[in-house]
Amino acid sequence: MSNSTNATLPANFDPYNQAFTLLLPDGTPIEVNTSDLNFMRSFGMRLAINMGSQVGASIMLLAVLLVLTRREKMRSWVFIMNTLCLLTNAIRAILSCLYLTGNWFNPYAFLTGDFSKVTSNDMATSIASNIMTLLLVVFIFVSLSIQVWIVCVTTPRLQQLLIMSATTLVALVAIGFRLAVVVVTSHRTLHYTGWDDKHLLIVQMYISQAIAIWVFCVVFTFKLGLALLQRKRLGMTQFGPMQIIFIMGCQTMIIPAIFTCLEFYDKIPELGTQTLTVVCIFLPLSAIWAGVSTSDSNVAVSGANSHQRLLRDQFGRSPTQSPRSTQMSGNEKPSTLASEGTYSQRDPDSPYAPYHKEKFPGEHSIVVDREWSVENEEPASRV
């Protein structure tokens, strides 16, 4: 029987690409393919991984930002906007994940296009996700505007107004395209229709958003670059907050643009949603990193490996494993009141405190019954 069955199959038969029939609610048959099921599986997994990573990254960095920011800095507009960006982005990603658990992603609805089982909660979740994305875009551009305003404080008044007017106009254009997309998609969601005919509007929205982010980053990286060149002419070449913000500004200018281009790559279009998340992460991350370098006046140093020394000094501190008692003269052992601190054993590469090599073990300890001597050209005299 198996031989006769195999004989009826065509030579190019692909068992992974078979057609089968589903019935619509009115009894109309509709033919679907197993490749459609495979596409649904692949799309759902990619979307879940993509959105889940955004949820985790946003919540983790939000916790780090709240823990490491000083209390007096929490009232600044930059901190408030960065916090709102991370919180809004986490909510947006969670709502997008709920799409996979609702009736929109039901296999029957996905394959047949019948969304009669979609509830009002499913529609509310989709619309709320679009609205949260709009709010996120607004918060991002407000945060970028604040940073551009800060770096332009020292510029002439007219130049400052021109820069802020140009960047604000670009931001409003991007927000306007995002608002139009939210209105269209929400209207189509309520009426169970697609938005394939609005593909051009969506493309324009992504392009305007990428250009706006790029323009903002170009402005403050250019201003910071000029300031760094002036400092270099004055001999101030240490690695400090300005270099950190300049580095993060360049990253914010380049990396989101790359993710925006991936939106138009058919094989992984989901990565385009990472654009806003990358910007949300880079904005507070630069503030945290710069805050580390300004927490101590001795942190900024010069040298080829200054950034490595900066991070090692902040996160690589460790107390000495055990206090050491010191024998000063003869067999007399003085008692130690305070163990040797971390700074006495500081690595010469450390920028955090000057390194001083000990002339003898325990030089920096506080001891009792210690005999001191004053070194002169002549033999030392006891005090």
Domain boundaries, the chain: 23-297
- 128 CB burial (10 A radius; 0-12, 13-18, 19+): middle
Backbone angles phi and psi of 238, in degrees to 5 = -70, 155
Overall pTM > 0.85: no
Q: Going from the first residue of the chain to its last (383 residues), give the mean pLDDT of each consecutive group of 10, the final group possibly shorter.
A: 59 84 89 90 91 94 88 86 94 93 90 89 93 95 88 84 92 95 91 81 89 85 77 70 71 76 75 85 76 51 52 47 44 42 40 45 48 52 45
Place of tokens 């007017």: 165
In this prediction, residue 309 carries a pLDDT of 53
Q: How far apart are CA 262 and CA 269, in angstroms?
A: 6
Look at residue 132 in the predicted model and tell me its pLDDT.
Answer: 95
Residues in the chain: 383
What's residue 346's pLDDT?
42
Residue 350 confidence (pLDDT): 39
CATH of domain 23-297: 1.20.1070
Residue from 60, 141, 142, 119 nearest 93 by CA: 60
The pLDDT of residue 304: 54
